[in-house]
Amino acid sequence: MPQSTQIAITGAAGQIGYQLAFRIASGQLLGYGQPLTLRLIEIAPAMKALEGVAMELADCAFESLHEVIISDRLEEGFRGAEYVFLVGAKPRGPGMERSDLLAENARIFSRQGAVLNEQADERAKVLVVGNPANTNALIAASNAPDMDPRNFSAMTRLDHNRACAQLAARTGHHVSSVERMIIWGNHSATQYPDLSQALVDGEPAMALVDAGWARGEFIATVQQRGASVIEARGTSSAASAASAAIDHMRDWAHGTRDGDWVSMAVPSDGSYGAPDGVYFSYPVRCADGAWEIVQGLDPDEFSRDRIRMTGEELLEERNAANELAL
Protein backbone atom coordinates (compact mmCIF):
# COMPACT_ATOMS: atom_id res chain seq x y z
CA MET A 1 0.00 0.00 0.00
CA PRO A 2 1.56 3.38 -1.01
CA GLN A 3 1.75 6.06 1.69
CA SER A 4 -1.23 8.31 2.17
CA THR A 5 -0.69 11.79 0.67
CA GLN A 6 -1.31 14.55 3.22
CA ILE A 7 -3.65 17.27 1.93
CA ALA A 8 -4.53 20.29 4.09
CA ILE A 9 -7.48 22.64 3.49
CA THR A 10 -8.21 25.75 5.55
CA GLY A 11 -11.75 27.10 5.67
CA ALA A 12 -12.85 23.53 5.07
CA ALA A 13 -16.40 24.03 6.37
CA GLY A 14 -16.96 27.04 4.10
CA GLN A 15 -18.64 27.04 0.71
CA ILE A 16 -15.53 26.24 -1.35
CA GLY A 17 -14.09 23.88 1.25
CA TYR A 18 -17.31 21.88 1.24
CA GLN A 19 -16.90 21.26 -2.50
CA LEU A 20 -13.14 20.87 -2.48
CA ALA A 21 -12.89 18.22 0.24
CA PHE A 22 -15.29 15.83 -1.51
CA ARG A 23 -13.76 16.24 -4.95
CA ILE A 24 -10.29 15.59 -3.62
CA ALA A 25 -11.49 12.64 -1.52
CA SER A 26 -13.11 11.12 -4.61
CA GLY A 27 -9.73 11.08 -6.38
CA GLN A 28 -9.98 14.13 -8.65
CA LEU A 29 -6.61 15.55 -7.57
CA LEU A 30 -4.31 12.54 -7.24
CA GLY A 31 -6.17 10.00 -9.36
CA TYR A 32 -8.82 7.45 -8.47
CA GLY A 33 -7.78 5.07 -5.73
CA GLN A 34 -4.63 6.98 -4.69
CA PRO A 35 -4.60 6.99 -0.87
CA LEU A 36 -4.90 10.35 0.85
CA THR A 37 -5.44 11.95 4.23
CA LEU A 38 -7.51 15.12 4.48
CA ARG A 39 -6.36 17.57 7.13
CA LEU A 40 -9.30 19.97 7.48
CA ILE A 41 -8.78 23.24 9.33
CA GLU A 42 -11.31 25.75 10.60
CA ILE A 43 -11.62 28.48 13.17
CA ALA A 44 -13.15 27.41 16.50
CA PRO A 45 -16.74 28.64 15.84
CA ALA A 46 -16.92 26.53 12.68
CA MET A 47 -15.63 23.28 14.22
CA LYS A 48 -19.12 21.85 14.75
CA ALA A 49 -19.92 22.36 11.07
CA LEU A 50 -16.57 20.77 10.23
CA GLU A 51 -17.53 17.71 12.29
CA GLY A 52 -20.56 17.42 10.02
CA VAL A 53 -18.30 17.60 6.94
CA ALA A 54 -16.16 14.79 8.37
CA MET A 55 -19.31 12.72 8.99
CA GLU A 56 -20.41 13.15 5.40
CA LEU A 57 -16.94 12.30 4.10
CA ALA A 58 -17.11 9.03 6.05
CA ASP A 59 -20.58 8.39 4.65
CA CYS A 60 -19.26 8.64 1.09
CA ALA A 61 -17.08 5.55 1.71
CA PHE A 62 -14.49 6.93 -0.72
CA GLU A 63 -11.91 4.36 -1.76
CA SER A 64 -9.10 6.97 -1.79
CA LEU A 65 -9.81 8.52 1.59
CA HIS A 66 -7.80 6.91 4.38
CA GLU A 67 -8.14 9.42 7.17
CA VAL A 68 -9.79 12.73 7.98
CA ILE A 69 -8.22 14.97 10.61
CA ILE A 70 -10.17 18.03 11.71
CA SER A 71 -8.60 20.78 13.77
CA ASP A 72 -8.70 24.44 14.70
CA ARG A 73 -4.97 24.29 15.40
CA LEU A 74 -2.75 25.11 12.42
CA GLU A 75 0.14 23.11 13.94
CA GLU A 76 -1.91 19.94 13.79
CA GLY A 77 -3.63 20.73 10.52
CA PHE A 78 -0.46 21.50 8.56
CA ARG A 79 1.67 18.66 9.99
CA GLY A 80 3.41 16.86 7.14
CA ALA A 81 1.13 18.47 4.54
CA GLU A 82 2.25 17.96 0.93
CA TYR A 83 -0.57 19.84 -0.76
CA VAL A 84 -2.05 22.87 0.99
CA PHE A 85 -5.17 24.76 -0.05
CA LEU A 86 -5.41 28.07 1.86
CA VAL A 87 -9.08 28.83 1.31
CA GLY A 88 -10.23 30.31 4.63
CA ALA A 89 -9.97 34.08 4.83
CA LYS A 90 -11.64 36.99 6.53
CA PRO A 91 -14.53 38.14 4.32
CA ARG A 92 -15.22 41.80 3.72
CA GLY A 93 -17.81 42.90 6.29
CA PRO A 94 -20.21 45.87 6.10
CA GLY A 95 -18.38 49.20 6.17
CA MET A 96 -14.98 47.51 5.97
CA GLU A 97 -12.38 49.30 3.84
CA ARG A 98 -10.17 47.36 1.44
CA SER A 99 -7.20 48.30 3.64
CA ASP A 100 -8.91 46.77 6.71
CA LEU A 101 -9.52 43.59 4.74
CA LEU A 102 -5.88 43.46 3.70
CA ALA A 103 -4.71 43.99 7.29
CA GLU A 104 -6.99 41.29 8.75
CA ASN A 105 -5.87 38.80 6.13
CA ALA A 106 -2.22 39.77 6.40
CA ARG A 107 -2.35 38.64 10.03
CA ILE A 108 -3.99 35.33 9.10
CA PHE A 109 -1.64 34.54 6.22
CA SER A 110 1.57 35.59 7.97
CA ARG A 111 0.79 33.16 10.77
CA GLN A 112 -0.17 30.42 8.31
CA GLY A 113 3.12 30.92 6.45
CA ALA A 114 5.08 30.64 9.70
CA VAL A 115 3.30 27.45 10.78
CA LEU A 116 3.65 25.91 7.31
CA ASN A 117 7.38 26.61 7.58
CA GLU A 118 7.50 24.63 10.84
CA GLN A 119 5.06 21.84 10.13
CA ALA A 120 4.48 21.18 6.43
CA ASP A 121 6.62 19.05 4.13
CA GLU A 122 9.36 21.45 3.00
CA ARG A 123 8.46 20.77 -0.66
CA ALA A 124 4.73 21.28 -0.07
CA LYS A 125 2.80 22.99 -2.83
CA VAL A 126 0.70 25.81 -1.37
CA LEU A 127 -2.22 27.31 -3.28
CA VAL A 128 -3.82 30.48 -1.92
CA VAL A 129 -7.50 30.89 -2.80
CA GLY A 130 -8.63 33.23 0.01
CA ASN A 131 -8.71 36.89 -1.01
CA PRO A 132 -6.82 39.11 -1.61
CA ALA A 133 -5.22 35.94 -2.96
CA ASN A 134 -2.07 37.31 -4.66
CA THR A 135 -0.99 39.40 -1.69
CA ASN A 136 -1.98 36.69 0.80
CA ALA A 137 0.35 34.34 -1.10
CA LEU A 138 3.16 36.90 -0.90
CA ILE A 139 2.64 37.30 2.85
CA ALA A 140 2.47 33.56 3.52
CA ALA A 141 5.60 32.87 1.45
CA SER A 142 7.50 35.74 3.12
CA ASN A 143 6.83 34.15 6.50
CA ALA A 144 8.08 30.71 5.45
CA PRO A 145 11.83 31.32 5.07
CA ASP A 146 12.75 27.63 4.72
CA MET A 147 10.30 27.04 1.89
CA ASP A 148 10.89 27.99 -1.73
CA PRO A 149 8.66 30.98 -2.68
CA ARG A 150 8.05 29.14 -5.96
CA ASN A 151 6.11 26.56 -3.94
CA PHE A 152 3.47 29.20 -3.19
CA SER A 153 1.00 30.40 -5.79
CA ALA A 154 -2.37 32.15 -5.90
CA MET A 155 -5.42 31.14 -7.87
CA THR A 156 -6.45 32.85 -11.10
CA ARG A 157 -7.50 29.55 -12.66
CA LEU A 158 -11.18 30.26 -12.11
CA ASP A 159 -10.79 33.45 -14.15
CA HIS A 160 -8.82 31.46 -16.75
CA ASN A 161 -11.54 28.80 -16.99
CA ARG A 162 -14.24 31.47 -17.18
CA ALA A 163 -12.36 33.14 -20.05
CA CYS A 164 -12.03 29.84 -21.93
CA ALA A 165 -15.76 29.20 -21.48
CA GLN A 166 -16.67 32.68 -22.80
CA LEU A 167 -14.46 32.26 -25.88
CA ALA A 168 -15.84 28.78 -26.55
CA ALA A 169 -19.42 30.02 -26.35
CA ARG A 170 -18.67 33.00 -28.60
CA THR A 171 -17.07 30.85 -31.31
CA GLY A 172 -19.47 27.90 -31.02
CA HIS A 173 -16.73 25.43 -30.08
CA HIS A 174 -16.37 23.11 -27.13
CA VAL A 175 -14.31 24.57 -24.29
CA SER A 176 -11.77 21.73 -24.60
CA SER A 177 -10.69 23.13 -27.98
CA VAL A 178 -9.57 26.44 -26.41
CA GLU A 179 -5.85 26.75 -25.62
CA ARG A 180 -3.39 29.44 -24.60
CA MET A 181 -5.73 31.73 -22.68
CA ILE A 182 -4.03 34.19 -20.32
CA ILE A 183 -5.08 35.96 -17.14
CA TRP A 184 -2.49 38.60 -16.28
CA GLY A 185 -1.97 40.16 -12.86
CA ASN A 186 -4.18 40.35 -9.83
CA HIS A 187 -7.22 38.24 -8.98
CA SER A 188 -9.31 41.40 -8.73
CA ALA A 189 -11.21 43.77 -10.97
CA THR A 190 -7.91 44.89 -12.56
CA GLN A 191 -7.06 41.40 -13.85
CA TYR A 192 -6.50 41.32 -17.61
CA PRO A 193 -8.09 38.39 -19.43
CA ASP A 194 -6.19 38.25 -22.73
CA LEU A 195 -7.21 36.10 -25.68
CA SER A 196 -4.72 37.60 -28.14
CA GLN A 197 -2.56 34.42 -27.99
CA ALA A 198 -5.47 31.98 -27.71
CA LEU A 199 -6.21 29.21 -30.17
CA VAL A 200 -9.60 27.62 -30.85
CA ASP A 201 -9.31 24.24 -32.52
CA GLY A 202 -5.76 25.29 -33.45
CA GLU A 203 -6.86 28.55 -35.13
CA PRO A 204 -5.98 31.99 -33.70
CA ALA A 205 -8.94 33.22 -31.66
CA MET A 206 -8.45 36.77 -32.97
CA ALA A 207 -9.35 35.53 -36.47
CA LEU A 208 -12.67 34.20 -35.12
CA VAL A 209 -13.91 37.10 -32.97
CA ASP A 210 -14.00 40.85 -33.55
CA ALA A 211 -11.39 42.96 -31.82
CA GLY A 212 -14.07 45.12 -30.17
CA TRP A 213 -15.51 42.10 -28.35
CA ALA A 214 -12.05 40.80 -27.39
CA ARG A 215 -11.08 44.13 -25.83
CA GLY A 216 -14.47 45.12 -24.45
CA GLU A 217 -17.30 42.75 -23.59
CA PHE A 218 -15.06 39.69 -23.22
CA ILE A 219 -12.82 41.34 -20.63
CA ALA A 220 -15.71 42.88 -18.71
CA THR A 221 -17.68 39.61 -18.66
CA VAL A 222 -14.75 37.65 -17.23
CA GLN A 223 -13.90 40.38 -14.72
CA GLN A 224 -17.52 40.57 -13.54
CA ARG A 225 -18.41 36.90 -13.71
CA GLY A 226 -18.11 36.47 -9.94
CA ALA A 227 -20.61 39.30 -9.38
CA SER A 228 -22.98 37.78 -11.98
CA VAL A 229 -22.92 34.44 -10.15
CA ILE A 230 -23.67 36.20 -6.84
CA GLU A 231 -26.58 38.03 -8.45
CA ALA A 232 -28.03 34.81 -9.84
CA ARG A 233 -27.29 32.39 -6.98
CA GLY A 234 -27.43 34.78 -4.05
CA THR A 235 -24.02 33.54 -2.95
CA SER A 236 -20.54 33.48 -4.46
CA SER A 237 -18.97 30.93 -6.82
CA ALA A 238 -18.09 27.80 -4.90
CA ALA A 239 -18.27 24.65 -7.04
CA SER A 240 -16.47 26.35 -9.93
CA ALA A 241 -13.86 27.77 -7.53
CA ALA A 242 -13.20 24.32 -6.03
CA SER A 243 -12.98 22.83 -9.50
CA ALA A 244 -10.47 25.50 -10.54
CA ALA A 245 -8.40 24.92 -7.39
CA ILE A 246 -8.10 21.23 -8.28
CA ASP A 247 -7.25 22.08 -11.91
CA HIS A 248 -4.52 24.43 -10.66
CA MET A 249 -2.94 21.97 -8.24
CA ARG A 250 -3.28 18.96 -10.57
CA ASP A 251 -1.61 20.74 -13.50
CA TRP A 252 1.13 22.08 -11.22
CA ALA A 253 1.86 18.60 -9.86
CA HIS A 254 1.27 16.53 -12.99
CA GLY A 255 2.04 18.97 -15.82
CA THR A 256 0.16 21.09 -18.35
CA ARG A 257 -1.09 19.69 -21.67
CA ASP A 258 1.48 19.58 -24.48
CA GLY A 259 1.55 22.88 -26.36
CA ASP A 260 -0.84 24.55 -23.91
CA TRP A 261 -0.36 26.62 -20.78
CA VAL A 262 -2.45 27.75 -17.79
CA SER A 263 -2.66 30.93 -15.69
CA MET A 264 -1.17 30.91 -12.19
CA ALA A 265 -0.19 33.79 -9.91
CA VAL A 266 3.48 33.12 -9.13
CA PRO A 267 6.44 35.19 -7.87
CA SER A 268 7.10 37.79 -10.55
CA ASP A 269 10.52 37.88 -12.19
CA GLY A 270 9.69 41.11 -14.00
CA SER A 271 8.71 39.31 -17.21
CA TYR A 272 6.45 41.36 -19.48
CA GLY A 273 7.02 44.49 -17.40
CA ALA A 274 5.27 43.18 -14.29
CA PRO A 275 6.69 44.55 -11.03
CA ASP A 276 9.16 42.39 -9.10
CA GLY A 277 8.32 41.20 -5.61
CA VAL A 278 4.62 40.49 -6.11
CA TYR A 279 2.64 37.35 -6.98
CA PHE A 280 1.54 38.05 -10.54
CA SER A 281 -0.68 35.89 -12.74
CA TYR A 282 1.21 34.75 -15.83
CA PRO A 283 0.87 32.10 -18.51
CA VAL A 284 2.88 29.18 -17.12
CA ARG A 285 3.83 25.70 -18.27
CA CYS A 286 4.24 22.97 -15.66
CA ALA A 287 6.34 19.81 -15.80
CA ASP A 288 7.91 17.56 -13.15
CA GLY A 289 6.12 19.42 -10.36
CA ALA A 290 7.53 22.86 -11.30
CA TRP A 291 6.23 25.82 -13.30
CA GLU A 292 7.94 28.15 -15.78
CA ILE A 293 6.63 31.47 -17.01
CA VAL A 294 5.98 31.27 -20.77
CA GLN A 295 8.51 33.52 -22.49
CA GLY A 296 8.69 35.02 -25.96
CA LEU A 297 5.16 36.42 -26.25
CA ASP A 298 4.87 39.93 -27.60
CA PRO A 299 1.94 41.73 -25.92
CA ASP A 300 0.69 44.72 -27.93
CA GLU A 301 0.39 48.21 -26.48
CA PHE A 302 -3.18 47.65 -25.24
CA SER A 303 -2.04 44.53 -23.38
CA ARG A 304 1.10 46.15 -21.97
CA ASP A 305 -1.05 48.96 -20.61
CA ARG A 306 -3.40 46.51 -18.87
CA ILE A 307 -0.46 44.53 -17.48
CA ARG A 308 0.98 47.75 -16.07
CA MET A 309 -2.31 48.74 -14.40
CA THR A 310 -2.88 45.44 -12.65
CA GLY A 311 0.80 45.41 -11.62
CA GLU A 312 0.40 48.86 -10.04
CA GLU A 313 -2.50 47.58 -7.94
CA LEU A 314 -0.38 44.65 -6.72
CA LEU A 315 2.43 47.03 -5.79
CA GLU A 316 -0.03 49.13 -3.77
CA GLU A 317 -1.22 45.99 -1.97
CA ARG A 318 2.36 44.92 -1.32
CA ASN A 319 3.30 48.33 0.04
CA ALA A 320 0.25 48.37 2.31
CA ALA A 321 1.18 44.88 3.57
CA ASN A 322 4.81 45.98 4.15
CA GLU A 323 3.59 48.87 6.30
CA LEU A 324 1.98 46.32 8.61
CA ALA A 325 5.48 44.87 9.14
CA LEU A 326 4.21 41.32 9.59
Could you list the residues that contact ligand NAX (CB under 6 A)? 10-11, 13-17, 41-43, 46, 87-91, 108, 129-131, 133, 155, 158, 187, 236-238, 241
Closer residue to ligand NAX in complex, CB, 194/199: 194
Q: Could you count the other beta carbons within 10 Å of the beta carbon of residue 67?
A: 11
- φ/ψ of 28, rounded to 5, equals -75, -15
Nearest of 177, 112, 195, 180 to residue 147 by alpha carbon: 112
Q: Is there a contact between 137 and 87 (Cβ–Cβ < 8 Å)? A: no
Closer residue to ligand NAX in complex, CB, 7/241: 241
Residues 6+ apart with CB under 8 A from 41: 8, 9, 10, 11, 12, 70, 71, 72, 74, 77, 78, 88
Closer residue to ligand NAX in complex, CB, 37/134: 134
Residue nearest to ligand NAX (CB): 14
Q: How far is the CB of 245 from ligand NAX (least distance, A)?
A: 8
Q: Is there a contact between 65 and 36 (Cβ–Cβ < 8 Å)? A: yes
Closer residue to ligand NAX in complex, CB, 181/199: 181
- φ/ψ of 38, rounded to 5, equals -95, 130
Nearest of 158, 152, 229, 166 to residue 191 by alpha carbon: 158
Residues 6+ apart with CB under 8 A from 308: 273
Q: How far is the CB of 255 from ligand NAX (least distance, A)?
A: 22
Q: How far is the CB of 204 from ligand NAX (least distance, A)?
A: 27
Separation CA 175–CA 200 (nearest Å): 9
Q: How far is the CB of 156 from ligand NAX (least distance, A)?
A: 6
**187 tagged catalytic:** yes
Closer residue to ligand NAX in complex, CB, 36/108: 108
From 173, 174, 187, 248, the catalytic residue: 187
Q: How far is the CB of 264 from ligand NAX (least distance, A)?
A: 11
Instruction: Report the relative pairing of strands 199-200 and 279-287 from DSSP bridges.
Output: unpaired
User: What residues are annotated to the active site?
Assistant: 187
